[in-house]
Structure 1
Amino acid sequence: MTTMIPQTPEQMLDCGCPENRGVSRRTLFRMAAVGGLTTATTLSGATLAFGAPTGTGTMVVLSLRGGFDGLSAVIPLGDAAYAKARPGIKVAAGQAHQLDSMFGLHPALEPVFKLFENGTMAAVHAVGQADPTRSHFEAMEEMERAAPDSNLRTGWIDRTLGSLGNPGGFGGTQVGSGAMPDAMIGPNMKFAMNSIAGVKLSVGEDLVPLARWRSAMKTLHTGAAPELKAPLTNALGAVGKMGPLQKATSKTAKELGYPDTGLGNALHDVARLIKADLGLRVATVDYGNWDMHVNLGRSDSGWMFNQLKEMSTALAAFAAELGTAGMAKTNLITLSEFGRRLEENGSGGLDHGHGNVVLALGGGLKKGVHGRWPGLGASALVDGDLAGTTDYRSIVSEVLKKRVGVDSTTDIFPGYKAKTVGLVA
Structure 2
Amino acid sequence: MPATVARSSSSGPDDACCGEFRSVSRRGLFVGALALAGTTTAVGSAVVTASPASAASADSVLVVLSLRGAADGLSLVVPHGDPVYYQARPRLAIPAERLLAKDAMFGLHPSLAPLLPLWESGRLAAVHATGLPAPNRSHFAAMEEVEDANPGSTVRQGWLNRLIGTDAGGSPLQGFNVGGGVIPGALFGDEPVMSAGSVDDVRIPGDDEWVSQDGRKRSLHTLWDTHPGPLGKAMRSTFSAITDFRPVQAAADNEDRYPNSDLGRALATVARVVRGDVGVQVLTVDQGDWDMHSGLGTLEWGQMLHNADDLATSVAAFMDDLGSQQSKVTLLVLSEFGRRTVENDNYGLDHGYGNVMFVAGSGVRGGAFHGRWPGLTLDDDADLLVTTDYRSVLAEIVSTRFGSSTATVFPGFTPTPVGVMT
**CA–CA distance in structure 1, aligned partners of residues 56 and 101 of structure 2:** 42
Equivalent residue for 1:412, pick from 400, 409, 412: 409
**CA–CA distance in structure 1, aligned partners of residues 148 and 264 of structure 2:** 27
1:150 and 2:133 aligned: no
2:291 maps to which residue?
A: 291
Q: How many angstroms does 1:244 deviate by?
A: 4.2
| SS state at 1:396 partner | helix
1:346 and 2:345 aligned: yes
1:365 and 2:367 aligned: no
1:42 and 2:38 aligned: yes
> Which AA in structure 2 matches 1:194?
G
The 8 Å contact of residues 74 and 106 in structure 1, kept in 2 or not, is answered as: yes
Structure 1 stretches of at least 4 aligned residues deviating more than 6 Å after TM superposition: 46-52, 204-207
Q: How many angstroms does 1:301 deviate by?
A: 2.8
TM alignment of 1:204-243, pairs within 5 A: 211-212=214-215, 214-221=217-224, 223-225=226-228, 227-243=230-246
Q: How many angstroms does 1:208 deviate by?
A: 5.5
So what's the TM-score if we normalise by structure 2?
0.86
Identity of aligned residues (%): 40
| SS state at 2:340 partner | coil
TM alignment of 1:142-221, pairs within 5 A: 142-165=145-168, 167-202=170-205, 211-212=214-215, 214-221=217-224
The alpha-carbon distance between structure 1 residues 272 and 18, as it changes in their structure 2 partners (threshold 3 A), is closer
**CA–CA distance in structure 2, aligned partners of residues 80 and 377 of structure 1:** 10
2:124 maps to which residue?
A: 121
Deviations 1:245-302 (A, max 9, x none): 3345x35312x2x101111111111111111111111100011100000011112432
2:135 maps to which residue?
A: 132
1:374 maps to which residue?
A: 374
**CA–CA distance in structure 2, aligned partners of residues 54 and 33 of structure 1:** 31
The 8 Å contact of residues 173 and 280 in structure 1, kept in 2 or not, is answered as: yes
**CA–CA distance in structure 2, aligned partners of residues 21 and 97 of structure 1:** 31
Deviations 1:57-83 (A, max 9, x none): 101000110001011001111111111
> Which AA in structure 1 matches 2:255?
A
The 8 Å contact of residues 295 and 302 in structure 2, kept in 1 or not, is answered as: yes
**CA–CA distance in structure 1, aligned partners of residues 151 and 169 of structure 2:** 23
Stretches of structure 2 lacking an aligned partner (at least 5 in a row): 1-15
Q: Pairwise CA RMSD of aligned residues?
A: 2.8
The alpha-carbon distance between structure 1 residues 222 and 252, as it changes in their structure 2 partners (threshold 3 A), is closer
**CA–CA distance in structure 2, aligned partners of residues 266 and 209 of structure 1:** 33
Q: How many angstroms does 1:414 deviate by?
A: 1.1
| SS state at 1:231 partner | helix
The 8 Å contact of residues 201 and 208 in structure 1, kept in 2 or not, is answered as: no
Deviations 1:127-156 (A, max 9, x none): 010122111111011111111122222111
**CA–CA distance in structure 2, aligned partners of residues 111 and 197 of structure 1:** 29
The 8 Å contact of residues 171 and 237 in structure 2, kept in 1 or not, is answered as: yes
Deviations 1:7-66 (A, max 9, x none): xxxxxxxx9524247569x94xx34549x35x14623xx878888754321010001100
> Which AA in structure 1 matches 2:346?
S
The 8 Å contact of residues 275 and 326 in structure 1, kept in 2 or not, is answered as: yes
Deviations 1:151-190 (A, max 9, x none): 2221111111212225314210001321111112212110
> Which AA in structure 2 matches 1:342?
T
Q: How many angstroms does 1:99 deviate by?
A: 3.0
The alpha-carbon distance between structure 1 residues 406 and 167, as it changes in their structure 2 partners (threshold 3 A), is farther
The 8 Å contact of residues 47 and 191 in structure 1, kept in 2 or not, is answered as: no
| SS state at 1:152 partner | coil
> Which AA in structure 2 matches 1:219?
T
| SS state at 1:279 partner | coil
**CA–CA distance in structure 1, aligned partners of residues 156 and 380 of structure 2:** 29
Q: How many angstroms does 1:377 deviate by?
A: 3.4
1:19 and 2:32 aligned: no
The 8 Å contact of residues 21 and 140 in structure 2, kept in 1 or not, is answered as: no
> Which AA in structure 2 matches 1:286?
D
**CA–CA distance in structure 1, aligned partners of residues 262 and 213 of structure 2:** 28
The 8 Å contact of residues 48 and 190 in structure 1, kept in 2 or not, is answered as: no
Q: How many angstroms does 1:229 deviate by?
A: 3.5
So what's the TM-score if we normalise by structure 1?
0.86
Equivalent residues, number: 397
The 8 Å contact of residues 337 and 354 in structure 2, kept in 1 or not, is answered as: yes
> Which AA in structure 2 matches 1:313?
T
